[in-house]
């Protein structure tokens, strides 16, 4: 049984630390004891305040990106050691906004996820096709390449320490969600790709989140799909009640109880 995992990607939202603290304070009260791994990924400046608000809570802290070097002359970047030091346990790697707006490549994704693993952070590695690629029937080829190159040279043991997220770019922030069938099809493909390269145990163990306009209203059907192990949530993670409802939906869909 793969434990469901729901992560909130706040992106560049939450104008003040107090807003961030208020959100997690409400969230920790409503998801206390739910048998789902819950992660929140605030903007860098609010990590320390949120870490403090989450002390002694089962909700884990994550960052939205990292650089692969531990320190040095890399103006504007944040290292894995800094993230670990502030209390992060997870880090998102290769989000489509990083790929599209900031030129992130599969090679960079690979360096970042290796660095995350080296410093004890769990990378949430995002893959997914654009609308144009889907319309050209290239979804499988795109995802295959992102998994092959992004996860290059990972050992089976490393693979056990990462989370994957299938995020069709056309579904992110658009209100246009993949149907449960579309999500399941690509999640099953990802599991097959993992099986081909790292074997059956790795494929059965790895958790693959779906991301793209997940809401309290559509989460249950998406999470009921056998290869959908959780969700990476943007917009709906900014409201404690909506995010908590998605977490509850994950527990219900997977039949897990406290
Ligand atoms: C995301 O940022 O990863 C995401 C899926 O955003 P949204 O839920 O807003 O589509």
CATH number, domain at 218? 3.20.20.70
Which one is catalytic: 156, 167, 181, 221?
A: 167
Contacts 24+ apart (CB under 8 A), 175-180: 175/213, 176/212, 176/213, 177/212, 177/213, 177/214, 177/215, 177/218, 177/222, 178/210, 178/212, 178/222, 180/221, 180/222, 180/224, 180/225, 180/228
Q: Which atom of ligand 1 is nearest to the CA of 211?
A: 5
**Is the Cβ atom of 128 under 6 angstroms away from ligand 1?**
no
Residue 32 pLDDT:
87
Count of structural domains, the chain: 1
**Is the Cβ atom of 214 under 6 angstroms away from ligand 1?**
yes
**Rounded distance from Cα 233 to ligand 1 centre (Å):** 5
Quote the strand ranges of the chain, DSSP E. Answer: 5-9, 37-41, 60-63, 88-93, 122-127, 163-166, 207-211, 230-233
**Is the Cβ atom of 94 under 6 angstroms away from ligand 1?**
no
3-state class of 168 per DSSP? coil
* Residue carrying structure tokens 């790895």: 206
The answer to whether residue 77 is catalytic is no
**Is the Cβ atom of 65 under 6 angstroms away from ligand 1?**
no
Give the residue among 236, 147, 159, 153 at the shortest CA–CA distance from 205: 159
The answer to whether residue 167 is catalytic is yes
The span from the first CA to the last CA of the chain, in angstroms, equals 15
Residue 43 pLDDT:
98
Residue 257 pLDDT:
79
> What is the spatial distance between Cα 118 and Cα 112, in angstroms, rounded to a whole number?
10
Q: Which domain holds residue 217?
A: 5-254
Quote the strand ranges of 16-81, DSSP E. Answer: 37-41, 60-63
C-alpha to C-alpha distances, 159 to 133, 137, 184, nearest whole angstrom: 27, 28, 21
Residue 53 pLDDT:
97
Q: Which atom of ligand 1 is nearest to the CA of 165?
A: 3
**Is the Cβ atom of 212 under 6 angstroms away from ligand 1?**
yes
**Is the Cβ atom of 235 under 6 angstroms away from ligand 1?**
yes
**Rounded distance from Cα 11 to ligand 1 centre (Å):** 9
**pLDDT tens per residue across span 139-150:** 999 999 999 999
Residue ranges of the chain whose pLDDT lies below 50: none
Q: Which atom of ligand 1 is nearest to the CA of 236?
A: 8
């Amino acid at each position: 049984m793969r434990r469901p995992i729901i992560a909130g990607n706040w992106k560049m939202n939450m104008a003040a630390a107090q807003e961030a603290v208020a959100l997690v304070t409400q969230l920790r009260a409503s998801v206390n004891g739910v048998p789902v791994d819950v992660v929140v990924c605030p903007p860098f400046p609010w990590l320390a305040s949120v870490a403090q608000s989450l002390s002694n809570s089962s909700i884990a802290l994550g960052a939205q990106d990292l650089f692969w070097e531990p320190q040095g002359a890399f103006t504007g970047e944040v290292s894995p050691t800094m993230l670990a030091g502030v209390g992060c346990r997870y880090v998102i790697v290769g989000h489509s906004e990083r790929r599209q707006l900031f030129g992130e490549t599969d090679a960079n994704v690979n360096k970042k996820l290796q660095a995350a693993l080296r410093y004890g952070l769990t990378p949430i590695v995002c893959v997914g096709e654009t609308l144009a690629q889907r319309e050209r029937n290239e979804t499988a080829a795109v995802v295959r390449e992102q998994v092959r190159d992004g996860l290059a040279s990972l050992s089976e043991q490393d693979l056990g320490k990462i989370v994957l997220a299938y995020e069709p770019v056309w579904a992110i922030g658009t209100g246009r969600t993949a149907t449960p069938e579309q999500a399941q099809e690509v999640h099953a493909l990802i599991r097959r790709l993992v099986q081909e390269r790292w074997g059956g145990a790795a494929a059965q163990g790895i958790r693959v989140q779906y991301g793209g306009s997940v809401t309290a209203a559509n989460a249950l059907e998406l999470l009921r799909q056998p290869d959908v192990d959780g969700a990476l949530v943007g917009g709906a993670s900014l409201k404690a009640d909506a995010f908590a409802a998605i977490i509850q939906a994950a527990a219900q869909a997977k039949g897990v109880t406290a």
